[in-house]
Amino acid sequence: MDTSLAINGLPELTLTGTATTGTVGGNATTVSAACENLDTYATSMDAFIEELEAQKDEILLGWEGEAADALRESFPGLIEAFREVPPSIRSISNWATTTMNAYVRRDQSTAESIRAILGGK
């Protein structure tokens, strides 16, 4: 998914994939074509994972019902997908793109749930 995510005034986090829009906890989720500003969010893969885990509650804020349940259930799989990418991939941007692509291929039904939650098809 191509998604930029701004949470509580932090720099936007950009990942690649299918264009969608939606809102997370009142923060705009917008489409982006590249991971160019991911480096401003974290300086290492481990720091990025820690930040993603730390922001989990903020990311889930604002979602209700089935959408919240689906997102909450898919979050551990997404974190695990990031952890499975070898540290030999130097660029965080490339690493994030590779991770998201691998995650989407590995768990298509969860990926479809996330797309539906974010307003995609």
54, pLDDT greater than 80 = yes
Decide if 34 contacts 16 (C-beta within 8 A).
Answer: yes
98, pLDDT greater than 80 = no
Residue 6 dihedral angles phi and psi, to the nearest 5°: -105, 125
Number of compact structural domains in the chain: 1
Tell if the pTM clears 0.75, that is, is over it: no
Q: What is the mean pLDDT of residues 48-77?
A: 78
Nearest to 62 by CA among 31, 29, 16: 29
Containing domain of residue 106, as a range? Answer: 3-117
How high does pLDDT run on average in the chain?
Answer: 59
